[in-house]
Chain A
Amino acid sequence: MATFQHQRLTPWLLLAPQLVVVGLFFFWPAGQAIYQSLFTQDPFGLASTFSGLQNFIDVLHDPEYLAAFTVTILFTLSVAVASLCIALLLAVLADRVIKGSRFYRTLLTWPYAVAPAVAAVLWSFLFDPSLGRISHFLELVGVHWDHHINGGQALALVIIASVWVHVSYNFVFFLAGLQAIPKSLLEAAAIDAAGPWRRFWTITFPLLSPIMFFLLITNTTYAFFETFGAIDATTAGGPGGATRTLIYKIYEDGFKGLDVGHSAAQSVLLMILVAALTLVQFRYIERKAHY
């Protein structure tokens, strides 16, 4: 007992690396962002004046910001839903494969090793209006594809590239989840007269729901923040802002427009948005996900 209580230092030492990383890469920049969002800076960074919440008011009245917001929601929803659904389907299929299952599984996890930006470039080659295989095929069936001009197609391209990378990530989790479900549960359900389809929806799916919940959060965060590379490497927010997500707009305003104050205000708003979303997910969905 005595030794247990007196070891006050050890837990802190063990936590230290994690705390340093979180502090250095999250709290410090976040603090900086909040601080800067309250000032108006001139483009050369020579002078800054306190402007209160004026930056936030400006941002919220900016139609471009609202457009970026819409694009982000569209993008996030599509990426999360599509990558979850495709990953689940693939995991269910891979779970049934007996011969050569290792091979399939390894193959399906590979895309995750590809950096999102590289994956995006790869897909933009495939869809390239003049060289691409897929755009060539689309031309044959009568669809004219040019994501340099067509905003909808540009968004679709970025979504496809992001989904492709993220499917593997979700796949690994789903497969592990599927294999953790005791076989006897499904056998009991088969004896209880549930067909394969019903077995999936009443037994497998509910038992996967904690994993589903976890993935929903990580996927949303992913779509909000981490697809910056994919967008920057392919469409750079264009054409005409069709793929300008909130995170990309922050980058554009801050680093290209050198408008630090407004960019920081957007960062803070994005942070609040994601925190709120995560909170909502925890409170409402987790209640259903638990058993």
Chain B
Amino acid sequence: MATLTLNALKKRYPNGHLTLHGIDLKVAHGELIVIVGPSGCGKSTLLRSIAGLESITEGDLWIDDTRVNDKEPAQRDIAMVFQNYALYPHMTVFDNMAYALKNRGIPKQECEQKVRETAKLLGLEELLERRPRQLSGGQRQRVAMGRAIVRSPKVFLFDEPLSNLDAALRVQMRLEIRRLLKRLGTTAIYVTHDQVEAMTLADRLVVMNGGQVEQVGAPLELYSRPATRFVARFIGSPSMNLITLEATTSPLAKHPLVRDMPAEPMEKAATLGIRPEHLRITDPLQALFRLEVEMVEPLGADTLVYGHAAGIAEQIVVRLDGIHPLEESAQLYLGAERENLHFFDVEGRRV
């Protein structure tokens, strides 16, 4: 159990590339933080800086009440699960798990007992004498988890630990990891680019973009009140429709729901966001726009409808419940509730 505090953390690689532009984050005892963001936004860099595998260029990193910027990885008492698991190929599963304990000079008997306990927790008892290459991907993943858990560190770090597994196994392991972490009550930071994983695992979600934190919050909070246009698009699948409001003369801008926005933000609003699942078929009088259907994707539980509307440049996606036998070239009048409309200004901030 520990808290983790990042204070204006910056990382510049030796080649001059500024990868983290000042990250602020406070992680509470036993909290599970998930970091998401597009490829190359600095998620791994952030994790590696916390682990001590990369030096921190500027800012402070605190674990509990200790500033650990200049501490070796071993002294920080963290454990990390790597994307490729990084199991020691020449050691048995047992030795892989016991390695960290041995290095810390823990007596052999205690070592053995801890490894066996952890193996039991993860269902690895049968595999203790095997080498990593004799294990399946899922089992290797479990061993990597075991190696992290066995020495009860203060903080767990996960760098896309499930991305090498197939879809079904990923769902199963996701649930297991969540259950395990809550049972152990250890503070953890989990990096992923899979947003279902992010939404289901996180106590709080951190969305990163270009080396900066866009928003931090509970998954549903990010879903219902995205702070920026980037977060709005990144969270939710299919992603939110973002409609440019070019002039107050466009038919959409004249719609009461949009027009009756309080005057001041309305002037600033440059983009209107509506999630596909929040668009509903209504009568022509209340509709925001009329959609000319171009493509229909029936998924069974719901139906995705793609099309364009007069005066709107962007393609619109609608998610309708159930099965809708729609002709391509059919027309739909679509509306939405006021609270499901999101407005963003020119810089992409929520208004």
Task: State the CA gap A206–B89 with chains docked (Å).
Answer: 10
**B72 proximity list for chain A (CB < 8 A):** 190
Q: 1/0 contact trace for A153-192 toward B, CB 8 Å? A: 0000000000000000000000000000010110111111
A191 touches B89 (CB 8 A): no
Segment 197-251 of A: residues with Cβ below 8 Å from B: 198, 202-203, 206-207, 209
User: Which residue of B53, B84, B88, B89 is within 8 Å of A190 (Cβ)?
Assistant: B53
A188:B82 contact, CB within 8 angstroms: yes
A-facing residues in B66-98 (Cβ within 8 Å): 72-74, 78-80, 82, 84, 86, 88-90
How far apart sit A65 and B245, CA to CA, in the bound complex (Å)?
A: 98
B333 in the interface (beta carbon within 8 A): no
Q: Could you tell me the distance between the alpha carbons of A194 and B84 in the complex, rounded to whole angstroms?
A: 20
- Which of the segments B20-28, B99-107, B315-323 contacts the partner chain? B99-107
Contact with B along A252-291 (1 / 0, CB 8 A): 0000000000000000000000000000000000000001
Q: Using C-beta atoms within 8 Å of the partner chain, give the interface range for chain A.
A: 10 to 19
A1 interface residue, CB < 8 Å from B? no
**Known contacts A193-B74, A291-B131; A188/B90 CB under 8 A:** no
A192 and B100 alpha carbons, distance in the complex (Å): 4
Q: Are A194 and B78 in contact (CB under 8 A)?
A: no
B287 within 8 A of A: no
In the complex, whether B202 has a CB less than 8 A from a CB of chain A is no
Distance (whole angstroms) from the CB of B110 to the closest CB of chain A: 16
Task: Provide the bound-state CA to CA distance between A188 and B104, in Å.
Answer: 14
Please tell me if the beta carbons of B74 and A191 are within 8 angstroms of each other in the complex.
yes
A-side contacts of B104, CB under 8 Å: 193
The answer to whether residues A191 and B99 also contact, given A184-B86, A185-B88, A291-B89 and a CB cut-off of 8 A, is no
Instruction: Determine how close the nearest CB of chain B comes to the CB of A201; give it in whole angstroms.
Output: 12
Contacts A189-B99, A194-B103; A207 near B74 (Cβ below 8 A): no
Q: With A193-B104, A194-B103, A198-B103 as given contacts, are A188 and B74 in contact (CB-CB < 8 Å)?
A: no
We find that the number of chain B residues with CB closer than 8 angstroms to chain A is 21
Main secondary structure of the interface of A (DSSP, over half): helix
Q: Tell me if B99 and A185 are in contact (CB < 8 A).
A: no
CA distance A191 to B80 in the complex (A): 8
B53: A residues at CB distance < 8 A: 187, 190-191
Does B205 interact with chain A (Cβ within 8 Å)?
Answer: no
Q: Report which residue of A191, A206, A209 has the largest number of chain B beta carbons within 10 angstroms of its beta carbon.
A: A191
Tell me which residues across on chain B come within 8 A of A192, comparing CB atoms: 74, 99-100, 103, 147
For B82, the closest partner residue in chain A by CB is: A184
Q: How far is the CB of A70 from chain B (nearest CB, A)?
A: 37
Q: Which of B95-143 contact A (CB under 8 A)?
A: 99-100, 103-104, 131
Assess whether B293 is interfacial by the CB under 8 Å rule: no
Q: With the chains together, A202 CA to B98 CA distance in Å?
A: 13
- Residue on B with the closest CB to A203? B88
Chain B residues with Cβ below 8 Å from A190 are 52-53, 72-74
Task: Report the bound CA distance from A197 to B164 in whole Å.
Answer: 32
Complex Cα distance A182/B51, Å? 18
CA distance A206 to B72 in the complex (A): 24
Q: Are B103 and A182 in contact (CB under 8 A)?
A: no
Residue of B nearest to A202 (CB): B99
Query: Of the candidates B51, B82, B99, which one forms a contact with A194 in the assembled complex, judged by CB atoms under 8 Å apart?
Result: B99
Q: Which residues of B contact A209 (CB under 8 A)?
A: 90
Whether the Cβ atoms of A193 and B82 lie closer than 8 Å is no
A182–B74 touching, CB < 8 Å: no
Q: How far is the CA of A189 from the CA of B79 in the complex (A)?
A: 11
Instruction: Please give, as numbers and ranges, the residues of chain A lying within 8 Å of B80 by CB-CB distance.
Output: 187-188, 191
CA distance A192 to B90 in the complex (A): 16
Q: Is the beta-carbon distance between B51 and A191 smaller than 8 angstroms? A: yes
A81 to B79, CA, bound (A): 39
Mark interface residues in B44-69 (1 if CB within 8 Å of A CB, else 0). Answer: 00000001110000000000000000
Interface centre among A182, A185, A209 (most CB of B within 10 A): A185
**A194-B99, A194-B103 are contacts. A184–B88 as well, Cβ < 8 Å?**
no
Q: Which of B86, B103, B131 interacts with A187 by CB under 8 Å?
A: B86
Q: Using Cβ atoms and an 8 Å threshold, which residues of chain A touch B78? A: 191
Bound-state Cα–Cα, A202 to B96, Å? 11
When the two chains form their complex, are residues B103 and A193 in contact, meaning their CB atoms are under 8 A apart? Answer: yes
- Contact partner, B86, options A185, A206, A291, Cβ 8 Å: A185
Chain A residue contacts of B103, Cβ below 8 A: 192-194, 198
Q: Is the CB of A291 within 8 A of B79?
A: no
Chain A residues lying within 8 Å of B74, measured Cβ to Cβ, are 190-195
Instruction: Tell me the nearest residue of chain A to B98, going by C-beta.
Output: A192
Least CB distance, A141 to chain B, in whole angstroms: 42
With both beta carbons as reference points, the residue of chain B lying nearest to A206 in the complex is identified as: B90
**Would you list 27 pairs from A and B whose C-beta atoms are within 8 A, ordered by A residue?**
A182-B84, A184-B84, A185-B86, A185-B88, A187-B82, A188-B80, A188-B82, A188-B88, A189-B88, A190-B52, A190-B53, A191-B53, A191-B73, A191-B74, A191-B78, A191-B100, A192-B99, A192-B100, A193-B74, A193-B100, A193-B104, A194-B99, A194-B103, A203-B88, A207-B89, A291-B89, A291-B90
Given contacts A184-B84, A189-B88, A192-B99, 10 further A-B contacts (CB under 8 A): A182-B86, A187-B80, A187-B82, A188-B82, A188-B88, A192-B103, A193-B100, A195-B74, A203-B88, A207-B90
3 smallest A-B Cβ distances: which pairs? A291-B90, A192-B100, A193-B74
